[in-house]
Structure 1
Amino acid sequence: MGERAFVVTQSIKTLNAQDRQWTLDTKGFKSLYDDKVVDPAEISKDDKTIYYKNTPYTPKDLPQRLIITYSPKYAKYRKSIREKQVKRAKLMLERGSTKKERRNPNDPARFLGSIAVTDDDETANVYNYLNTEKIDEEAKYDGMYAVSTDLLDDNVSEILSISEKRWQIEECFRIMKTEFEARPVFLQRTDRITSHFLTCFLALIIYRYLEKFLEHKYTCE
């Protein structure tokens, strides 16, 4: 690859069984700042430190490093998102508005299961239910983030600095869309569309300043 190098996001769920098991094992995590070994289960949820562990990773005969990070702040964020989706899934059950097709991996309907019950020679009745096993399975990945890179000897903190802001960017887009209702846009004139997005963006800036001023004690909800 010459002088080129890469740092890319790696889906933990698509790792092979051995690497995925290593990822979810709480052993081996270190503080990014002093390399002190820690157990994520004993870390305060308000801790803003980033923890990591890494291992050689060679998919398709390309030597790489697999770096797993754990962030209590990111764990708190993912848990908050999932709890809202579970709440929506429960409403879908109550209203009987479950979907047959679930193409979006973030669709709340993914937390719903179905079971067919029938008596002999009768048409099966399908019952939907909240799949708590699915919820618990996703919770295992809270706070985890993975990247793979061919920078085998570089400092971990330098590598992570390239990608550490990605989930914060994701959160900004989510807040813009859900809390500030940036989309969908029911406008036609260009100046009004521009004004709408400008208002949402300014609201996001003000929210971030308030969040910092209030020491992250509250959320936009």
Structure 2
Amino acid sequence: MRKLKKHLKQWALATEGWSLPQVRGAFDISQIAQSEEAKENYQNATFYKERWIKEDGLEQKLIVTFSFKYQNYQRCIRSRQIERACKLLESNPSSLKKHRQTDCKRFISRTNVTTEGEIAKNEFYTIDQEIIANEEAYDGFYAVCTNLEEDAPAITKINHKRWEIEECFRLLKSDFRARPVYLSRDDRIKAHFTTCFLALTIYRYLEKRVKENFTSTEIISQLRTMNFYCVPGEGYVPTYTRTDFTDALHETFGFRTDYEIVGTKQMKKILSLQKKQ
């Protein structure tokens, strides 16, 4: 998207003129974004627009897609990176001089002048809100040029799976801690990645069951905090905070653990029920 020429970029980022596969009419994504209910209804939809372009003598079809789910995914990743950047500012500013294009350090700006414009002896580091705003403008969008004859919805469907695959690798490396691998024997390495893959499979199943209404960060972080305090002879007292995710989890799988206390027999019944699903 960022490499498109100015007139193409304006066309691609325009909020009107978007289509959905097998749906008549055009959509304005800015109007959908104004309503939380509408955004939820179109959470898993991939909007698209297309046009033919001729650049450097090569004629191609330019297809641009937009997804609210992809937008949330990108903003979730950026939020984590900004959080890491803030921690770097507090702990080790001297390590901020060099960074990669996708490094969290890109959000940190360095200046050698004071607010009055005078040259300062010390360097000042701050979070660059302009860089954040520039990146946010492209959230949810993706552009692809192709000379394939297939219609745009078919190409869009394939492209939609691309970032989901990327997310799988990111989940494995971060949340499921697949790397680094402190193993040397082949059987143990295979066992490690088999465990990670099974965890990813279970996560994807859970994500589908709660209708993909929550980000990976929300699901994993809240599952990790769903702890209980065992009261001998009484049962289990939930120590977690009730959220939209825990409500969706209970409603989907037909049990509740957010009562004041869950009896021992009831907890065994819940565990037995989930094994059968």
TM-score range, shorter chain: 0.7 to 0.9
Bigger mean CA deviation after superposition, 173-182 or 26-35: 26-35
Higher mean alpha-carbon deviation, 83-92 vs 52-61, is at: 52-61
Does residue 188 (structure 1) correspond to residue 188 (structure 2)? The answer is no
TM-score normalized by structure 2? 0.70
Q: Output the amino acid matched with 2:158.
A: I
Q: Are 2:11 and 1:32 equivalent residues in the alignment?
A: no
Match of 1:18 in 2: 7
Identity %: 40
Taking structure 1 as the reference length, the TM-score comes to 0.86
> CA offsets, 1:69-113, max 9 Å, x none?
11111111111111111111111111134421112x221111110
Residue segments in structure 2 that go unaligned for 5+ positions in a row: 33-37, 222-277
Per-residue CA shift, 1:94-152, capped at 9, x if unaligned? 1134421112x22111111011027999763110100011111111111101111113x
Q: 1:52, 1:70 within 8 Å by CA — same for their partners in 2?
A: yes
- The structure 2 residue matched to 1:124, chosen from 118, 121, 125, is 121
In 2, Cα distance between equivalents of 1:211 and 1:42: 27
Q: Does 1:79 align with 2:75?
A: yes
Any conservation in 1 of the 2:113–2:119 contact (CA below 8 Å)? Answer: no
Runs of 4+ in 1 over 4 A off after TM superposition: 118-123
Give the match for residue 200 of structure 1.
196
| Structure 1 unpaired stretches of 5+ | 1-11
- For 2:5 and 2:49, the matched residues in 1 are separated by 17
Q: String of CA shifts for 1:26-82, please: whole Å, max 9, x gaps.
A: 122122331421111122332222111112222221100101011111111111111
Q: CA RMSD in A?
A: 2.1
Quick one: structure 1 residues 96 and 181, their matched pair in 2 at CA, closer, same or farther if it must change by over 3 Å? Answer: same
Which amino acid is 2:9 matched to?
R
1:120–1:166 Cα change, 3 Å: closer
Partner of 2:220: 220
- Distance across 1 between alignment mates of 2:210 and 2:72: 17
- Structure with greater contact order relative to length (CA < 8 Å, sep ≥ 6): 1
2: CA distance, partners of 1:82 / 1:123: 31
Query: 1:45, 1:73 within 8 Å by CA — same for their partners in 2?
Result: no
Q: Answer 1 or 2: which has greater helix percent.
A: 2
Asked if 1:136 is matched to 2:136, the reply is no
1:108 equivalent in alignment to 2:104: yes
* Cα separation, 2, equivalents of 1:139 and 1:209: 30
User: Match for 2:30 among 41, 44, 64?
Assistant: 41
Distance verdict in 2 for CA 1:121–1:166, change over 3 Å: closer
- Offset at 1:188? 1.3
Q: Secondary structure at the match of 2:123?
A: strand
- Please, which of 132, 135, 158 is the counterpart of residue 162 of structure 1? 158
Give, in whole Å, the separation in 2 of the partners of 1:211 and 1:158: 24
Number of aligned residues: 208
SS at structure 1 position matched to 2:51: strand
